[in-house]
Each structure stands twice: as structure tokens, then as C-alpha cells.
Amino acid sequence: MCGIVGYAGARDSASIIMAGLARLEYRGYDSAGIATVGEHGLAMRKKSGKLAALHESLADAPLPAAPTGIGHTRWATHGAPTDENAHPHLADSGRLALIHNGIIENYGELRRELESDGVAFASETDSEVAAALIGREYERTGDLEQAFRAVLPRLEGAFTLLAVHANQPGIIVAARRNSPLVIGLGDGENYLGSDVAAFVEHTRRAVAIGQDNIVTVTPASVTITDFAGTAVAAEPFDVSWDAAAADKGGWPSFMAKEVAEEPEAVANTLRGRVRGEVGSGVGRGVGAVGGGAGGGGGVGGEVHIPELDGHDDLFVDAERIVIVACGTASYAALVGKYALENWARIPVDVELAHEFRYRDPIIGPRTLVVSISQSGETMDTLMAVRFAREKGARTLAICNTQGATIPRESDAVIYTHAGPEVAVASTKAFVAQITALMLVALHTGRLRGTLDPQTGRLETAALQDIPDHIATVLAQETDRITELAHWMADTRSVLFLGRHVGYPIALEGALKLKEISYIHAEGFAAGELKHGPIALIEPGQPVFVIVPSPRHSALLHAKVVSNIQEIRARGARVIAIAEEGDAAVLPHADEVIRIPLTTALLEPLLTVVPLQIFAMALATAKGLDVDQPRNLAKSVTVE
């Protein structure tokens, strides 16, 4: 939440910062601002509304050229999205400008103290309190870094702060606690950003900043210290994707581009993690639900995750696995639970990260806590991981963002290689998360000796076929789903039903629709319907039903078909998502969307795709901005 950019170099900072903010706008888009420092002193402009409003204002009246600057795109926490509450905030009689991401929890008390000293505030934000305190210290010390060092111990909560001062041109001072900050290393210029997207078009050499560190950046130097002033060593890393990966590339939206990239996201997450034969598993997973062995022999390689070398104890010693995540990532976790329990025979609980630590959960050294986070910065998930570590649990992160805080603070990490995800609604990261969880489940099953090797090979081969299968769904079903969405543009509510691994997909289908089309949507376990929700069904009610493969479980399939009959008898309009060749579903559904054959546990990787396309098409039909839905931000860095 909130995007932050800083530049210190020789070029005109304003254009570089505006381009960086455009790449970070997914982090917040209710207002934006910029401050630069050059020969003329400090100049600042800020505007409520999307970044375009600031662009327009700068086009009408450009800031004087200046080689140092900071910029911010906001997701409001304290105070409405007005010009006054937009960042930067000024202090020291307008000579100091500061931007902030996070929440300063004790700001009320600090504000009262400053007000009683005669400080007048221009905004309702918690952030301006930090600006005022640092400004006051600057007046005393004449040095921005010293002012930071004096003030930071007084701030509670989460913050990334960047500040510039008119009297110290060429210098940006930054600090972070619990909120993200990355440095970009250039040649005669350096960058700061909430994530690498802020500067990846200029440099792919980056340094992640640790907890409670201060960074002083000039065109020629980067100095990192802890709050007490002790030097901190930091290892640079190379960003694994380039600026083109974070461009729309001709697609109507980032979401459309990212859904289209799903085959690649899965393939990249598998790459280098399967050794031995690369076989085709199409339709070969013929065992019972849970992936019993069967079918042809000798296909598929063996999962080997190099990042987990030396970490066997995490999986062998664990008595229990707890997966912590939020939103879409928590639905990926639910899918992972089925696979882990089936193949590794280990109890798995899935916990919403924000609920986890407030109920004193029973965890200890023999609990493996797996976090799932696209951004690696979600505050709720980060706090759950920290809590787990305090309790002595071991931690594994599944994350899509290199150098993010959650993987840095975990015992081990598996990166999903989905590439940058810019649209607020998570799509390609979701399928990459499920893919990573499948790899972990196969790995754990093998290590614990609970997974029959033949089943392991079949499932691995089937996993390797998923990219092609997703491409098939995209090619064959996009037009029809888009048409369906157009018919349904006036629908007021949509329900989603699933059983077994179809249940988390029903939840995800509903979440996607809610967040980008603002239509009421709910996902249910199909068997739960008769315990209450069936009362919602009235004539014409659209219901998506995820139908499990009859090849894997005739019983589950029959149960879902009977659930369809129950709702159809009450007038529901049923859109079934069923595998190719499932003829038994045809008489019971108004529409059938087909997915290719795969194994029972891998079906979510295919059944979710039509639901993502549907949500996107419906939002588009309603004329909504699918990439930047109202009230949301991509990376939720506040609790």
C-alpha cells in the first residue's frame, strides 16, 4: 500500500520519478505527489485522484529541473484522499519534504505533543507527524540523517520514510520498519523504491533493506546503517525480469496480460525443479481422488527443489503444517492442504494470517509454518510469520517477489516465478502459488516416504502438462465466457459452488468477481448449500458449479450433479465447469465450460481460469477499471 520512489543522480528527477510512480500505481491510487531538490531549492506538487491528475498538473506547470527527488502514490489510511492529505508533507518552513508508507500507530500522542509546542498541521495524516518531528530535529542538527536517527525510536508501527531537504541537495535519507524499501544501484545515480518495479527500467541491480535500517543515498553512494548508526552489510541481487515484463504490452489491461501469462507463470515455477524425464501426463492421472497410482508407467521426472537442499528437516521433523496467507493466497493454501495431506500424510491447517496470532495457536518447533504471499510484504502475513518464529516454529515462504521481507525473515523460501503482477486482482500469481504448493507436497511426500514413487511421477508429469492445458482453456473458452459475461452485465449476484479442491476455487471465483466487478458473489462448498445458502436461490440466479472429474471419483461427481439438480429445481441458471468428455453433466447445466483432463488434485489450476476470465469480462462489460478496482491496493502493508 502506497508506492514510494526516490532518485539521486544527474538527470531531471521529476520525469524519472513520475515513470516510477506509474509502475507503482497498483500499490495505491487515490492521490500522488512529488518533491524535488535542485539549485532552486525544494519544489513540491501533489494532487488527489489518480496519477494522471498529477501528470496533468506537471504538464501545465512543470517543476524546475532538479537532480534529486521523491514521489508517492497513496492508499489512504488516515484522512480522506484530498490534496492536503496527499504526500509529500512539508516541515522546517517548507524546506523539508517527506513521504511515508505504513501507519504510525502512536501518531495521536505525538501530534498532541507537537501541537502543544505550537506546530500547526496541514493534513489529517499520521505521516505529517513524522515530517514535523524530523523537521524539528533538522532545525537542531542541520543534518537529515541525524534528524532521522533522533526521531525513529519514537515512532511506533510501520513505516518506510523518505525525505529530502533544500539545504542538502543530492541526498535522500530513508528508513524502514515493517514496510518495504529496495535500493536500485545505477551508474552515477541511485534509486529507492517500494519494490524494484520503481526503477527496473534503469537498473536491475538491487539491494533489499533490512528491518530497522536507515539508508542515505547520493548519486555516488549508498550507506546503510541500523537505527543506532552501526554500518549494515547488504548483498546486491539481480532482478530476474526486465521492464518489458511490467508493461501492458498492447493488452487492454494488466489483468488480461497476466491471465494470458499463466501458462508461462506455471512453466517458470516448475523450471529447474523437476529432474529426470519430462513426460506428458495428459489424462494419465487416473487414480482415485487424492491421486492414487495408476496409468502408464515410466512417465514423469522427480521433483527436486534446489532451494530446499539442506532443509529436509523442515519437512521430515514436522508433526504438522500450518499455512498462513490472506485473500487469494489463502485459497491457494486451501488447495495445497488437499495435496499435502494426500501425498505427505501430514495434518495441514490453513489460517487467515490476520486471525492466526490473535488466538494463541498451538505451535512449536515441530510445526512448519508455510506462508504464501505474492508481494512478500503483506503485513498480516509478515506478522504471522514473525509470531510463528517467536514460538519456535520453522518457516517456509512461498513468494513471488525477490528480496521481499517475508522470505528474508523465513528459514527457507521457494520463489514462484510468475513475473511482476501489476493488476490488483491476483491471477497468474495464484496459479504459480498452487504450482509451488504442489511441488512442496510432492517433495514432502517423497521425503516422508508416504508418496508412492509411481504416483509421484504421474503427478509430476501431469503438472508439467498444466501450462499447455491452461493455454487450451484460454484459446477455447475466452470468447464464450466473454459473451456470457456480457449477457450477465446486469446481474446483481452470482454464486459459486465446488467440492473437494473445487471448493477453494469457488471461493476464489467469488472473490475475483466481487473485487473487480463490485457484484455480490459468494462461494460455497456444494454440500453446505442445503444447510442454509440454498435459500438464496431464486429463478434466474446464476450459479457457477465446479464439477469434479468423474474419472477420478464417480461418487464426488454424482454428489455435485445432484447438488446441481437441487438448485436447478429452484430456478438457478447453472454454468458448469467440467472436464472434456463429461457428458453426464450436460442435461443438468445451462452452459458447460470445458477444461482438459488432468489429475484430481491439479484440476484447480485449470478450473480457476474460466472464473478469472469471467470476472474480468464482466467488469469490462460494466465499464470498470479492472486493474485498479475501487478501495483496493495491491500490496497490503498495513494490518
CA distance 543 to 494: 6
Residue whose grid cell is 502459488: 433
Per-residue binding letters, 410-429, with ligand F6R (x by CB under 6 A): ---------------xx---
The window from 36-44, 298-306, 327-335, 473-481 that contacts ligand F6R (CB under 6 A) reads 327-335
CB 165 within 8 A of CB 144: yes
620 contributes a contact to ligand F6R by CB under 6 A = no
Burial class (CB in 10 A: 0-12, 13-18, 19+), 289: buried
Each residue of 574-597: b (16+ CB within 10 Å) or e?
bbbbbbeebeebeebbebbbbbbb
The window from 38-46, 320-328, 480-488, 537-545 that contacts ligand F6R (CB under 6 A) reads 320-328
- Residue in 46, 257, 337, 634 annotated catalytic: 634
Residue whose grid cell is 528459514: 411
* Minimum CB distance to ligand F6R, residue 329 (Å): 4
Each residue of 203-240: b (16+ CB within 10 Å) or e?
bbbbbbbbeebbbbbbbeebebbeeeeeeeebeeeebe
612 contributes a contact to ligand F6R by CB under 6 A = no
CB 225 within 8 A of CB 213: yes
When the beta carbons of 36 and 416 are compared against ligand F6R, the nearer one is 416
CB 342 within 8 A of CB 291: yes
Q: Which amino acid is it at 327? A: G
Task: Kindly tell me which residue out of 515, 522, 579, 627 binds ligand F6R, with binding defined by CB under 6 A.
Answer: 515
* Minimum CB distance to ligand F6R, residue 599 (Å): 25
When the beta carbons of 385 and 481 are compared against ligand F6R, the nearer one is 385
CA distance 502 to 509: 10
Residue 2 C-alpha cell reads as: 502506497
When the beta carbons of 384 and 501 are compared against ligand F6R, the nearer one is 384
Per-residue binding letters, 577-606, with ligand F6R (x by CB under 6 A): ------------------------------
Task: Kindly tell me which residue out of 3, 69, 327, 498 binds ligand F6R, with binding defined by CB under 6 A.
Answer: 327
CB 131 within 8 A of CB 96: yes
The radius of gyration of the chain's CA atoms, rounded to the nearest angstrom, is 26
Peptide bond into 88 cis (omega under 30): yes
When the beta carbons of 401 and 599 are compared against ligand F6R, the nearer one is 401
Residue 69 C-alpha cell reads as: 527527488
The window from 258-266, 310-318, 322-330, 604-612 that contacts ligand F6R (CB under 6 A) reads 322-330
Quote the crossing angle between the two packed helices 502-517 and 327-344, to the nearest 10°: 170
Task: Kindly tell me which residue out of 32, 246, 326, 638 binds ligand F6R, with binding defined by CB under 6 A.
Answer: 326
510 contributes a contact to ligand F6R by CB under 6 A = no
When the beta carbons of 13 and 328 are compared against ligand F6R, the nearer one is 328
505 contributes a contact to ligand F6R by CB under 6 A = no
Collapsing DSSP to helix, strand or coil, 632 comes out as: coil
**2 carries an active-site annotation:** yes
CB 494 within 8 A of CB 516: no
Burial class (CB in 10 A: 0-12, 13-18, 19+), 10: exposed
The angle at the Cα of 481, spanning 478 to 484, to the nearest 5 degrees, equals: 150
The window from 210-218, 241-249, 370-378, 603-611 that contacts ligand F6R (CB under 6 A) reads 370-378
Residue 597 C-alpha cell reads as: 483432463
506 contributes a contact to ligand F6R by CB under 6 A = no
When the beta carbons of 14 and 326 are compared against ligand F6R, the nearer one is 326
373 contributes a contact to ligand F6R by CB under 6 A = yes
When the beta carbons of 459 and 515 are compared against ligand F6R, the nearer one is 515
* Minimum CB distance to ligand F6R, residue 325 (Å): 7
431 contributes a contact to ligand F6R by CB under 6 A = no
The window from 33-41, 251-259, 373-381, 554-562 that contacts ligand F6R (CB under 6 A) reads 373-381
CB 24 within 8 A of CB 184: no
Per-residue binding letters, 55-94, with ligand F6R (x by CB under 6 A): ----------------------------------------
* Minimum CB distance to ligand F6R, residue 220 (Å): 34
636 contributes a contact to ligand F6R by CB under 6 A = yes
385 contributes a contact to ligand F6R by CB under 6 A = no
Task: Kindly tell me which residue out of 132, 196, 329, 592 binds ligand F6R, with binding defined by CB under 6 A.
Answer: 329
When the beta carbons of 97 and 438 are compared against ligand F6R, the nearer one is 438
Q: Which amino acid is it at 223? A: T
Task: Kindly tell me which residue out of 13, 68, 73, 374 binds ligand F6R, with binding defined by CB under 6 A.
Answer: 374
Burial class (CB in 10 A: 0-12, 13-18, 19+), 301: middle
Task: Kindly tell me which residue out of 123, 378, 598, 620 binds ligand F6R, with binding defined by CB under 6 A.
Answer: 378
Which residue of the chain is nearest ligand F6R when measured via CB?
327
* Minimum CB distance to ligand F6R, residue 492 (Å): 21
The window from 5-13, 272-280, 323-331, 573-581 that contacts ligand F6R (CB under 6 A) reads 323-331
179 contributes a contact to ligand F6R by CB under 6 A = no
158 contributes a contact to ligand F6R by CB under 6 A = no
Task: Kindly tell me which residue out of 31, 125, 328, 553 binds ligand F6R, with binding defined by CB under 6 A.
Answer: 328
- Residue in 2, 257, 399, 428 annotated catalytic: 2
CA 195 to chain CA centroid, Å, is: 12
CB 407 within 8 A of CB 413: yes
Burial class (CB in 10 A: 0-12, 13-18, 19+), 119: middle
269 contributes a contact to ligand F6R by CB under 6 A = no
When the beta carbons of 189 and 515 are compared against ligand F6R, the nearer one is 515
Pairing between strand 520-525 and 493-498? Answer: parallel
When the beta carbons of 151 and 369 are compared against ligand F6R, the nearer one is 369
Q: Which amino acid is it at 167? A: N
- Residue 7's nearest CA partner among 161, 172, 140, 149 is 172
Residue whose grid cell is 500499490: 27
**399 carries an active-site annotation:** no
What number of chain residues touch ligand F6R (CB under 6 A)? 15
Each residue of 393-423: b (16+ CB within 10 Å) or e?
bbbbbbbbbbbbbbbbbbbbbbbbbbbbbbb
Active site residues: 2, 634
Residues that bind ligand F6R (CB under 6 A): 326-329, 373-375, 378, 381, 425-426, 511, 515, 635-636
